[in-house]
Structure 1
């Protein structure tokens, strides 16, 4: 997962010794954490946006979504009211374990702090002391490592919701990785996401890999968009990712559809795939999605096993048991769709910690690939 520091800063003290000094401390800690494969970002309040009608809601949402709250309590006699308000909200939402309170020892002492603050852990600093940035950043780094290691900043609810989006993206990437590399696994998906230039696809491949219209994924994405739109618990970038996914799936559905179209069907239809049989998933199990098709591989004893599933709008899924090949004139357009889902996936990984969560509700881990 990707974590965040929320920084509540003083706006009535010299920025060089406080706001920007502590911002540098946090950024140094973030860099050190990245070296340990722990990804943090810095979020700040938006007090500078004077006149914004939803300024408080924006700040509170950022605090809700942050992993660790860092505040500067430096002030003569009584800390800044804005900082105290944000701290109070953070205590209620996050708990003291995920809060780091800093104060300039040359301006205020712990004894001058409100009682409910001074009884908790406070960290003094002096912006004029040499080596202070290194010392403070190490404190933040150690706290972050400890919280991550102890599982205190992993939100099970957000992780569960993230796994649904991961599932939508992975379903598409698994198919494309098999088209380009001949097999599907997380290793091939990583290769696909990291490549700067897509491999050439000259060979034919099973049609069920490319003709999936991801109808149930589209339905799931729309459900999640509704959830994310009515709750402040989810970062706005999550909603943006869902919207991008919905647009991509709808466009891809038109691209691979056999319905009358202005553009030609993008694939050449070739031979039957030996030993492959395609049946309606709905007929096998009424709980399966309406358009689901099960792809079966014939075994030696004349029985079949399910090797994958796909979704296909045509009632008679004749094409799904055949190999197909991308028409030369359509390769660029096909690759544009692959690049599109790659961009969505890479951005999603960037904002959610750089890894996919494989929920056992969706995937049977350790199952042999077909």
Structure 2
């Protein structure tokens, strides 16, 4: 099938290969949880498509590397917030300049190499405790028993939130994710806003404590900025809450993916044990190949033509970084896990002014986890036919929701 001139390439009208689920705004049955085959087919045949959206403007998908990168680096055209509106909450990923610039500077102050290096010992101590417990048990659900507690406790400490409150904060964070999803035309829940407001009230009280203590945590930096009049109390609470939510969800899924690679690539664990550079290289390759954030949603401030297809002003555009990261024109053999490849161009942490501010912390947590796992584990195996459950494809972050594994210890 060839599109006629001016025909809009809607997903449901394309000649998808037999057995391949068409792309859709909402993944109703979980068929789009890992849509890398669809991304590859689109890159080669229809690099820009549209999808009908029942709750707003049409949603477009852009899948080729050069076009995705160009969109990420053009915030004046590809806006984070809808035209003529202001986000209700100070989630930095949903703001544009000048407010985005003003708010993001506080993350930049705290997420610097020196500050990140200072938390490495604490991250390693937590990782060792959790990994030793998991290995001694012979395995289990790697997500709930290892990845979630490691990332939650780490980001909670960085944000200045008490460890004893982490179980409650995890529940709150799920509602915050649903609240963010609502702003991106994704499924949410009726009580997402109410529960998120409860969480933000808790965070605001905690920021008062951090300020009084003179805390040097990221939460302490934000608290000082609030008390110094550089931001409002609401902005300070929302920024800290966003930090907590965004700082654990994607890292949790990436750790799950890395263990999947250890199962799929039998030589990987030995390489991680014997090559000091391998853990950091493996993290970058996992972010490229199975990054937890598949797309960046933008609002067009003007009409653009992308790969020969005109997209009208005001439409929603999904810049599909997961598709771009497997573009054959940039990455040789992109569907192969190769930690020795040059990953300097991957878009797994975004690009431009909206690149992930917490990337250094994510890299640190994952590198340390790999170092300590490789010192203790001889082999991972899937535990059962249904060992792997992937998050539904309409979620903000995509990756393992459950990963049952058996562990063979080195000792």
TM-score (norm 2): 0.25
Q: Greater relative contact order: 1 or 2 (C-alpha under 8 angstroms, separation 6 or more)?
A: 2
TM-score (norm 1): 0.26
Structure with the larger strand share = 1
